[in-house]
Amino acid sequence: MTQTLERLEIPAGATALFQGDSVTDAGRVRALPDDLGVGYPLLVGSWYSAVFPERGVRFLNRGVSGDRVVNLLERWERDCLALRPDVLSIQIGVNETWRAFDASDPTPAPAFERQYHELLERTRTALPETRIALMEPFVLPFPPDREAWRADLDPKIQIVRRLARDFGCALIPLDALFAEAAARREPVFWSLDGVHPTPAGHGLIARAWLRAFGVTLA
């Protein structure tokens, strides 16, 4: 049965692992295995641990700046499967688009889907009980040239949505979330370059993540 946002929870004593690119990495110190960086993983871990200290949940961040799905595959055994997380969230996809524009190194949508499918298949085989949440890649329309990214990124967002359904994962709809936020405040309030969140942007992600696992901020 496909999991839904409302049915996910973090078990007591769980290990929760954040995976992804620079949005997740958020400047973490890699020499310190429990360092969460300064972005949404830190906000999630800090808030959850402060409110529910008795649950003993350990939060880990293994995001790597610049990563694409192909890079996740290369390090997946070490940085995910070997850690045996009870909860796993994956935030990936925007670098597949970014590299197409700044390095003439595109990742076609079928390749992105094939690689992501392999990643999830490996995870479900090795860790069948792990609760998984997929986070949409997103881009905001600032600077103005980011508007041109939509044609490449939108199909990848649809792929993430489809894979979440096919593999019974929760979906955290970041692209929709940031689009709605940009209607309330200018895009630069949420991200200075359309991709990397400001503190307010990381707060949006953290709040959505906690909601996905049944925790509502007042």
Number of domains in the chain: 1
* Cβ partners under 8 Å of residue 102, min gap 6: none
Q: What is the pLDDT along the chain (218 residues), one digit of tens a residue?
A: 344 433 578 999 999 999 999 999 999 999 999 999 999 999 999 999 999 999 999 999 999 999 999 999 999 999 999 999 999 999 999 999 999 999 999 999 999 999 999 999 999 999 999 999 999 999 999 999 999 999 999 999 999 999 999 999 999 999 999 999 999 999 999 999 999 999 999 999 999 999 999 898 76
CA distance 204 to 85: 24
In a domain, 217, yes or no: no
Measured CA distances, 145 to 49, 142, 172 (Å): 40, 7, 26
Question: What residues have CB less than 8 Å from 160, skipping those under 6 apart?
Answer: 93, 116, 134, 135, 136, 137, 171
* Contact (Cβ atoms closer than 8 angstroms) between residue 137 and residue 174: yes
Question: Is residue 218 situated within a structural domain?
Answer: no
- Position 124 scores a pLDDT of 98
Is residue 108 one of the residues assigned to a domain? yes
55 domain-assigned: yes
Query: Domain of 48?
Result: 5-212
The reply to whether 162 falls in a domain is: yes
Distance CA 40, CA 204 (A): 8
CATH label of the domain that carries residue 80: 3.40.50.1110
- pLDDT of 7 reads 56
Nearest to 13 by CA among 61, 72, 53: 53
**Is residue 153 one of the residues assigned to a domain?**
yes
pLDDT at 9: 87
The pLDDT of residue 218: 66
